[in-house]
Chains A and B, each alone.
Chain A
């Protein structure tokens, strides 16, 4: 009987024994706590980092079977990540939440949204130079889209083994935009440029134009880059529902209930892919560094394009708005407004920056769509 009792106790201590043996899982438990700390205490993308952090902890507890074939998170993974369904459902919500009015009031700001995507392609080249396989490099480059769902969509499709690192990089750096961007903006612009006051864009946009926008973007973008149609189509469906105003129940469900439930499942499953043996590798650190660089390069190219627009318009454009041409919406626009007001109290760049930022939102999706279609054209993906 003593033996049976000892064996029973042994069953309760085997987890501790394995924790001591699997040092990488122990480190990942701390990484999970770190993500929870960032989300809860620092308010950095808490909607994602809290479930990701908790998923990471769940998957790294020794003998955890949450990601085994019958595990509950594996079921969520198979249902929503392997099928790319979760990021697409999130996109419906993003479309329903986003007002593209500022970019429609000033369509030229679409081009700032394009300039803010340079980081994707430059980082892709850097990843290739560092020896990453081609599709891995594509997934690393897409961190530069500054767009979590896009990064998850592309990575889950073509480099699922990098999903944890790419997602954590995308969401962490997105939340760090207010810290990453201002020094680059100051470094690349003169005091005189930062002080430029831009005329207000009070041009109203008709409801017809707002409703035609998602249809035009879907058809035009879909014809040119059909591989990205799921991304474009879902964000534009959400936006059409919003602008039509006739399906308010669906719009509210998309931006609230559906987006919230999917965000929870998405975060949990991504966190659970961060198992020690797969995550703690030098490769992960390189991916995190490249992701950081991607967002810096987006900002650099955006501000440089803003400077070009400033020169071409005879100094009517404040180049700082170029930094908002990324997808972190509306955070990047707020950063630009704050930075502009810091150098000139009369400067009110928010609406211009919102235009560039909305352009960046579309730009990141278009960049991913174009990238996938170019890959298909080259025969690298089907």
Chain B
């Protein structure tokens, strides 16, 4: 594979892949944060 093809493939798939994976992670973690919210501490009687 020539260097131009290699470089452009790495930029598109590598950087694109990184953004997509982190975006997916942010979505999943946002969802988990909503599913399992921090419960306020119970006041002692």
Contacts and interface: CB of A to CB of B under 8 A. Distances in A.
Interface of A: 103-105, 107-111, 113-114, 117-118, 120-122, 124-125, 128-129, 134, 137-138, 204-206, 208-209, 212-213, 216-217, 220-221, 224-225, 359, 362-363, 366-367, 370-371, 373-375, 377-378, 380
Interface residues of B, number: 30
Contact of A111 (B6, B8, B22, B33): B22
A121 B37 contact: no
B19 A121 contact: no
B23 A206 contact: no
Contacts, number: 120
A248 B28 CA distance: 27
B42 to A, nearest CB: 15
Contacts of B7: 124-125, 128-129, 137
Contacts of A108: 26, 30
B15 A110 contact: no
Contacts of B10: 121, 124-125, 138, 371, 374-375
B22 A363 contact: yes
Contacts of B25: 107, 110, 216-217, 220-221, 362, 366
A125 B11 contact: yes
B15 A118 contact: yes
Contact of B22 (A110, A118, A124, A212): A110
Contact of B9 (A120, A205, A374): A374
B9 to A, nearest CB: 7
Contacts of A216: 25, 28-29, 32
7 contacts: A134-B1, A134-B6, A212-B36, A225-B17, A363-B22, A367-B18, A370-B21
Contacts of A370: 13-14, 17-18, 21
B29 A114 contact: no
Contacts of A137: 7
Given A110-B22, A114-B23, A206-B36, 20 more contacts: A104-B33, A107-B25, A107-B26, A107-B29, A111-B19, A120-B14, A124-B10, A128-B3, A205-B33, A212-B32, A216-B25, A216-B28, A220-B24, A220-B25, A221-B21, A221-B25, A370-B13, A370-B18, A377-B13, A378-B1
Contacts of A110: 22-23, 25-26, 29
B41 to A, nearest CB: 10
B21 A220 contact: yes
